[in-house]
Structure formats: structure tokens, C-alpha cells
Chains A and B, each alone.
Chain A
Amino acid sequence: MGVPFEALLPYGIMIGMFAFSAVAVGSLREMQNGGKKGRRGLDAWDRVMMERDRRLTGFARGQTDKPFAPPGFEVNNPWRVEERFF
């Protein structure tokens, strides 16, 4: 006495939905990282280096191996502005 196939349809739907959301979230993360694997376990050093990468290349995950920075790099470091309080 086998299980009728109608009993398995909900499982197929559930697995399909889980697979769809996993692929969607994964590819969204890859898109946000410029086609590379995402970074994890970042500390303060990694964050400031990614900010420097953003200043150099225009994108936090962009990389360049040129020995000298493009002109204007030395002055595009922003001053942090103190928030106004009353």
C-alpha cells in the first residue's frame, strides 16, 4: 500500500520555496559584493580598509594593485562631523 502522490505535493512545494529563497538571498549577497564571496567576521581594521578601498575604487569591494593612488586621493578623506545637540 503505497503513499499516494498527492501526499508528497506539499513537501515538494516546501522544498521548492526553501530552495528559491536560499538561491535568491545568496545571489543578492553576491551582487552586493560585486560577484565575489561576502566578507565575514569583520573587525575595525577590516572596516577601515574597506572604507579606504571605497575611496580608492569607488566600491567597498573594489580592488586595485596600482603602486600610486590617483590624484585627489589624499584629499578625499572626509572629516567626521560632530552631530549637533541642544
Chain B
Amino acid sequence: MSARQPRFNQQALIDTTPLPDDIPKVKEIGASSAPLLSASFFIGARCKAFNDDYMMCKTEANGRGELECMKEGRKVTRCAASVIKDINENCLSEFRVHWQCLENHNQQLWNCRSEERRLNKCVFNKLKLEKTIPDTPKGEEQVHLRTRNIFASH
């Protein structure tokens, strides 16, 4: 049988024309869902300024943000890719153990806390990125630091 996938049918059209030159170039992120979820809080720790800048640009563009905020969006993509690259270079084994655990547990962070603790420790020691959950109530321990998990099945 032919190995060629359809480019155009009744549901979808895949247009492989390269993007025009007026769109700024960027290398897209190659990590899939589980590694992205595993690295998400470190991406947030390093790229908070870029992300906030992009969201502010989109708010102020009155609905044309996808077109006018491309430069800011490219910065967001590059910053996130740099975090994934650094984690891959420094903590690859812990990273893989964590996202494979996530992938086997319906991508629920609370089922993989021990793997996550090892990853957080490695990333903090080597990259100085710390996982903090935004908007945790004052005086309350963050949920990933709790020693006792009632609902975790693993």
C-alpha cells in the first residue's frame, strides 16, 4: 500500500507551503505533552517575564494579538525551549522517569510526587530553578511539598 498520507479530504487540508518571510522565524518546541507538563513549573520560573509581556501585549492589542504580538510570542517559545534543553542536558534521567510516570498515571501530578521531588531537587541544584505554585494562600504549605498524600495511588 502507498505510505503517503492524504493532504486534503473532507475534514482537513494540510498546506505545506513554507511560512512567508514577514513572519518571524522560530524553531517550534519539540517536547510533547507529558514532558511539557513535567517541565511546566520550571518554564514558568525562568520565563515569567516573557510570558507576562506576551499576555500584556495580547490584552492591549484588542483582539489582533495573534498577528501583532508575534515577536513577543517568539521570545516565549525560545525561552521555553531553552528550559527544556537545559533540563535535557543536566537532569535527563530524573526528567524521563518523571514524565514516564506522568504518562502512566493519566498525567496527574499528584500521582508522581516522589519522582517529582527528585526532579525538583536536581533542577534546583543544577539550574537554580525552583517550582513554586502561584497564588498559594499565605501560610499554607505548597501542595507538592506535602509529605502525606491521601489520594495518590502510587
User: Which A residues contact B (CB, under 8 angstroms)?
Assistant: 36-37, 39-41, 46, 49-50, 52-53, 56-57, 61-70, 72-81, 83-84
User: Given that A37-B105, A37-B106, A68-B30 are known contacts, is A74 also in contact with B19, CB under 8 Å in the complex?
Assistant: yes
Contact assessment for B84 and A81 in the assembled complex, using a CB-CB cutoff below 8 Å: no
Would you list the 4 A-B pairs with minimal beta carbon distance, nearest first? A78-B12, A66-B30, A69-B30, A67-B85
- Taking CB atoms, residues of chain A closer than 8 Å to B107 are 39, 46
Q: A46-B107, A63-B34 are in contact. Are A73 and B28 (CB under 8 A)?
A: yes
Interface size on B, residues (CB 8 A): 36
Q: Please give, as numbers and ranges, the residues of chain B lying within 8 Å of A36 by CB-CB distance.
A: 103-104
What is B's interface to A at a CB cutoff of 8 Å?
8-19, 27-36, 81-82, 84-85, 88, 95-96, 99-100, 103-107
Find chain B residues with CB under 8 A from A39 CB: 106-107
Q: How far is the CB of B123 from chain A (nearest CB, A)?
A: 14
The CA of A57 and the CA of B30, in the complex, are separated in Å by 9
Distance (whole angstroms) from the CB of B39 to the closest CB of chain A: 8
A83 to B8, CA, bound (A): 13
Choose one: B30, B81, B95, B100; the contact of A73 (CB below 8 Å). B30
Contacts A52-B32, A64-B35, A80-B11 aside, 10 further interface pairs with beta carbons under 8 A come to: A37-B106, A39-B106, A64-B30, A64-B31, A65-B84, A65-B99, A68-B30, A69-B28, A75-B16, A75-B18
- Contact check, A64 vs B32: say whether CB atoms are below 8 A apart: yes
User: Which residue in B14, B18, B84 is a CB contact (below 8 Å) of A67?
Assistant: B84
Q: List residues of chain A with CB within 8 A of the CB of B19.
A: 74-75
User: Are B32 and A62 closer than 8 Å at their CB atoms?
Assistant: yes
Nearest A residue (CB) for B9? A81
* A72 and B19 alpha carbons, distance in the complex (Å): 11
B15 touches A75 (CB 8 A): yes
Q: Are B30 and A70 in contact (CB under 8 A)?
A: yes
